[in-house]
Chain A
C-alpha cells in the first residue's frame, strides 16, 4: 500500500546528502552537537525532543525519540508528562488567541 509516510524512510534520512551534500553534512554535524551533553543532560534533551516531536506531529520523530528516551533511561510516566507539556503549550497557544478574538469582538461591537 502506498502511503505518504513509510517507516522505512526514516532509515534513509542520512541519505539526503545525495542531492545536496554540503548542507546535509552541516545539518547532521549541528544535529549531533545539539544533542550532546551540555548544560542540559542528554536525557533532558531527549525528553524535549519527544515533546517537540508531538507538537510538530512528525511520525518519524515520534518513533525515534520514543526509543531514544527509553535508551536515555526515561520511563513511561516521564515520557507522557513531556507529551502533556507539548499539548498544554499547544492548547495554551490556541487559547491565548482568544484574547485577540475578544479584542476584535470588542472593537467591532457597540
Chain B
C-alpha cells in the first residue's frame, strides 16, 4: 500500500462521496452475481438483524488524526476538522448515565486530539464506566503535551487498544506511514513502563492486527503467540491480547482495493468466507456508535457511510434524545460492507467473533 498525506475528502476524491461508495459496494457484489448480504442473513434466519442489548457506547470523538493510514475507514487525517464539541460530549455522558451502559469506547481519528478528551475520560471514570481508548500509539510521542498520556490512562484505569499491523517495520509502515513502527514501539515502551500490558498490573493493553493488503487476517490465537514472541525478543515489549480484525471495504481501504484492482477479488473472498455463526455475533447487536456531531449509528462503519440508526422518529437519531427502548427495538441497517464482519472467524472491535 502507498500512503497519501491527504484525506480523500481533501483530495475531492470521488470515493469521499458516500453514494459513490455505496454504489461501488453494490456493484462489487451484484456484478459478480454474488449473493447480497441481506439475502445471506435471511438464509441464516438473521434478517432483519436485531439487537441483543446495549452494552457498549462507542464515541467517535472526531476525524482529526496525526496519521493518514492507507486503510483508514474514517478517512481521518490532520486535514479533517470534524471534532465533537463539549456540549455533545456532555449529551453522551447524560445518555450513558440515563441508559446505565457501563462500557465506553473512544475512537476517532485520534480521540486524544479532541480538546475535551481528558475531561471526558475523567467524567466517565467518575460515573464508574470502564473506558476503552483506541489509541494509535504515535500520538503519545507526537508532541510533549501528550507524553503523560500513559500516566493519565493509568489514573483513569483506561483500557488501551492499539493498532500494530505487524511486528516488522516494513509491513507496519506500508500501511500506517513511514516511521510509524519505530514511534509505535517507543509508545509501547512508555505504556509498559507505567504497567500497561504487564502481568499483575491490572492495566490492559491490547493490540490490533489488520492485514496490510487485500487478504484476510490469520487465526487470532496463533498470531498472538507470534506477536508476543517477536515483540518480546526484539523490543522487550509486553501486551495482553491481540485482536485480528478484517479490513472493511469502505473509504480509504475501498480506494486501495479499487486502485490496486483487488476490489472484486476481495468482495468475492469475503462473500465466500461468510460465516453464519460470526453473523450472529456481530458487534452492532450490542453496541451503539455516536458520530462527532452526535448522531447515532449501528457501528463505526455505518457511521462513515452516514447510515443513521433506523428509529422511527428523527429526533431519536441524536444522542441528545437518547432512548434506550427505541434503540433496542431498532432494526440494524446492513449493506454489502457487512461481509467484512462475517468472514471466517468474524471481525469486531474486539477481534474474532467466533
Instruction: Please report which residues of chain A, range 56-101, place their CB below 8 angstroms from some CB of chain B when the two chains form the complex.
Output: 67, 70-73, 75-77
Complex Cα–Cα for A91 and B302 (A): 54
User: B166, A43: Cβ atoms under 8 Å?
Assistant: no
For the complex formed, measure the closest distance between the CB of A41 and the CB atoms of chain B, giving whole angstroms.
Answer: 6
Q: Is B222 an interface residue (CB 8 A)?
A: yes
Complex Cα–Cα for A103 and B104 (A): 77
Q: Mark B204-217, 1 if CB is under 8 A from A, else 0.
A: 00000001010111
Partner of A41, one of B170, B213, B216, B222: B222
User: B226, A75: Cβ atoms under 8 Å?
Assistant: no
Interface size grouping (class) on chain B: 10 to 19
| B219 partner residues in chain A, CB cutoff 8 A | 42, 72
Q: Given A70-B213, A70-B215, are A75 and B222 neighbors across the interface (CB < 8 Å)?
A: no
Complex Cα–Cα for A42 and B218 (A): 10
Complex Cα–Cα for A12 and B216 (A): 21
Interface residues, chain A, CB within 8 Å of chain B? 41-43, 67, 70-73, 75-77
| B216 partner residues in chain A, CB cutoff 8 A | 71
User: A71, B218: Cβ atoms under 8 Å?
Assistant: yes
Partner of A73, one of B170, B213, B218: B218
Q: Given A41-B222, A43-B218, A43-B222, are A75 and B166 neighbors across the interface (CB < 8 Å)?
A: yes
Residue of B nearest to A67 (CB): B215
Complex Cα–Cα for A20 and B213 (A): 37
Q: Given A41-B222, A42-B219, are A70 and B211 neighbors across the interface (CB < 8 Å)?
A: yes
User: A75, B168: Cβ atoms under 8 Å?
Assistant: yes
User: B223, A73: Cβ atoms under 8 Å?
Assistant: yes
Q: Mark B161-204, 1 if CB is under 8 A from A, else 0.
A: 00000101011000000000000000000000000000000000
For the complex formed, measure the closest distance between the CB of B267 and the CB atoms of chain A, giving whole angstroms.
Answer: 14
Residue of B nearest to A7 (CB): B265
For the complex formed, measure the closest distance between the CB of B263 and the CB atoms of chain A, giving whole angstroms.
Answer: 15
Q: Given A41-B222, A43-B222, are A71 and B170 neighbors across the interface (CB < 8 Å)?
A: no
Residue of A nearest to B212 (CB): A70
Complex Cα–Cα for A76 and B216 (A): 16
| B211 partner residues in chain A, CB cutoff 8 A | 70-71
Complex Cα–Cα for A86 and B215 (A): 25
Residue of A nearest to B218 (CB): A73
User: B171, A75: Cβ atoms under 8 Å?
Assistant: yes
Residue of B nearest to A75 (CB): B168
| B226 partner residues in chain A, CB cutoff 8 A | 73
Complex Cα–Cα for A43 and B219 (A): 10
